[in-house]
Amino acid sequence: MASITREEVEHLARLARLQLSDAEIDHYAGQLDVILQSVARVSEVAEADIPPTSHPIPMVNVFRDDVVRPGLDREAVAAGAPAWEDDRFRVPRILDEE
């Protein structure tokens, strides 16, 4: 079975620029060892004729095709706006910045 040592956890912590105490290193070494053992067990069960997958069911693209459509009429938008200036909506200033 796979096993991870304290030195490997310290090395991973250095790579990730994490500062771990001795207690944290021991704690994470135990947790990572359990994870590695679980992955090893799954690898033992997996059959060679079953391809690895990222999802249990096949995924299909459910997005619609992009279709160019005309936008809103500028004059109609301006007519419905409470205030319009220089082809833009005019809104009250909320910040005291230029």
| C-alpha to C-alpha distance for 34 and 59, rounded to whole angstroms | 31
State pLDDT tens for residues 47-94: 777 777 788 888 888 888 889 999 988 888 899 889 988 988 998 888
State pLDDT tens for residues 58-71: 888 888 888 999 99
Q: Contact at 8 Å (CB) between 1 and 37?
A: yes
Residue 78's Cβ-count burial label (10 Å; 0-12, 13-18, 19+) is middle
Q: Which amino acid is at 98?
A: E
pLDDT score at 60 = 83
Q: Contact at 8 Å (CB) between 57 and 49?
A: no
Q: Contact at 8 Å (CB) between 71 and 63?
A: no
Domains and CATH numbers, the chain: 6-45 (1.10.20.60)
